[in-house]
């Protein structure tokens, strides 16, 4: 079993080194003599849901049409990703400038799916920050909405954590400070991300960090979230949107959430960068929810004795079960990060993981 897993992991790592559009052909060649291994690696790639450029492109079938040559005024160059809430294409405008364009898969073109997708556009259009992917415009084509955004080259944070190895401390601070700055900006506009995870944190080829995918972002009335009478929910009763192992307890319970849910998810990401592993692991979604609701993560002081004590304390504070016990805003988090770092954040932001 261990040998099998090592072979699968090695094949996955090799596939992830390829350009997204070339991965399927690569693993077919690599695993041509082992159909079971091929199926396992495909499954692992499908689970590697990075929601942007690192999502493996699903194989086209006879039931799925190839992408159109034009979407609005944009010329489609290639399909570069496909995730649960949208396909992503590399496109060019009439002047030849390159952008990323995201649209709903046909199977999700329902009243609810369209509502969520348009909400993403509303959220994205109000966000202007160097650590948030830049929204360009919303276009309609053949009855389907499409979001045009800046095209990014690089990797998601999930790629850098794929071997379950921690980041060095300089990169932990560089990523966490930029991430906190982007979230602080979104929260100031009343927007909660709701699905913060390494796959939604993009590190560009020049080392800057960009927050991706506000597809399940929730517009709230205030940063504190205490005035819940004016909240407009975007989920059906009982439906949970988010990724299990990074989800705050109140979100896992399907309760109304506020910016402190992102503080919890930030704590999960920070813990993983420090240790190489998630604070709330499990074999399936139910086990992960159970850990989030009932278990405390292993002490960072024991796992990473070299971590600055203020940083370990901050990460564990963000992971408190009760939202009232966490840092109440990302501004509080940023303040503690800067104290832990021991230096003032440069206005241009740190460079990371180049």
Q: How far apart are CA 242 and CA 116, in angstroms?
A: 13
Greatest alpha-carbon span in the chain = 60
Query: Helices marked H in 126-191 — which ranges?
Result: 157-160, 169-188
Is residue 35 left, alpha or beta, with left meaning phi > 0 and alpha meaning psi from -120 to 50?
alpha
Buried b (16+ CB within 10 A) or exposed e, 199-214: bbbbbbeebbbbbbbb
Q: Active site residue: 49, 50, 195, 262, which one?
A: 195
Residue 197's contacts (CB-CB under 8 Å, 6 or more residues apart) are 158, 243, 245, 246, 265, 268, 269
Q: Give the strand order in the sheet containing 98-103.
A: 70-71, 74-83, 86-92, 98-103, 144-150, 135-141
Q: What's the DSSP call for residue 132?
A: B
Task: Name 211's bridge partners.
Answer: 132, 201
Residue 326 host element (H or E): none
Q: Is 124 exposed, middle or buried (0-12, 13-18, 19+ CB in 10 A)?
A: buried
- Whether 213 is catalytic: no
Residue 352's contacts (CB-CB under 8 Å, 6 or more residues apart) are 171, 174, 175, 178, 203, 207, 208, 209
Phi, psi of 82 (to 5 degrees): -150, 120
| Catalytic center residues | 195
């Amino acid at each position: 079993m261990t040998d099998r897993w090592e072979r699968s992991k090695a094949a996955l790592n090799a596939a992830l080194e390829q350009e997204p559009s070339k991965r399927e052909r690569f693993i077919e060649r690599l695993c041509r003599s082992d159909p079971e291994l091929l199926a396992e690696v495909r499954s692992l790639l499908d689970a590697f849901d990075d929601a942007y450029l690192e999502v493996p492109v699903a194989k086209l079938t006879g039931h799925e049409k190839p992408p159109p040559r034009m979407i609005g005024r944009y010329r489609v160059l290639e399909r570069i990703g496909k995730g649960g809430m949208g396909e992503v294409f590399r496109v060019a405008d009439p002047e030849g400038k390159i952008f990323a364009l995201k649209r709903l898969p046909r199977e999700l073109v329902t009243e609810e799916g369209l509502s969520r997708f348009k909400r993403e556009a509303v959220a994205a259009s109000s966000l202007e920050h160097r650590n948030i992917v830049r929204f360009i415009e919303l276009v309609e084509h053949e009855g389907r909405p499409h979001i045009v955004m800046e095209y990014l080259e690089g990797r998601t944070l999930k790629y850098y954590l794929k071997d379950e190895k921690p980041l060095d401390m300089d990169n932990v601070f560089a990523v966490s400070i930029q991430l906190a700055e982007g979230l602080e900006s979104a929260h100031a506009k009343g927007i909660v991300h709701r699905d913060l995870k390494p796959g939604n944190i993009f590190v560009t080829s020049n080392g800057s960090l960009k927050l991706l995918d506000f597809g399940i972002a929730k517009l709230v009335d205030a940063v504190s979230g205490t005035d819940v009478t004016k909240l407009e929910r975007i989920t059906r009763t009982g439906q949970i949107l988010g990724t299990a192992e990074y989800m705050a307890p109140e979100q896992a319970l399907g309760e109304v959430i506020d910016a402190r849910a992102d503080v919890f998810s930030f704590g999960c990401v920070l813990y993983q960068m420090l240790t190489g592993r998630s604070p709330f692991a499990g074999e399936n979604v139910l086990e992960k929810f159970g850990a989030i609701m009932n278990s405390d993560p292993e002490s960072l002081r024991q796992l990473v004795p070299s971590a600055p004590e203020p940083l370990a304390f901050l990460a564990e504070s963000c992971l408190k079960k009760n939202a009232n016990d966490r840092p109440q805003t990302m501004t509080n988090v940023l303040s503690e990060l800067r104290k832990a770092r021991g230096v003032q954040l440069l206005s241009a932001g740190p460079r990371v993981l180049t």
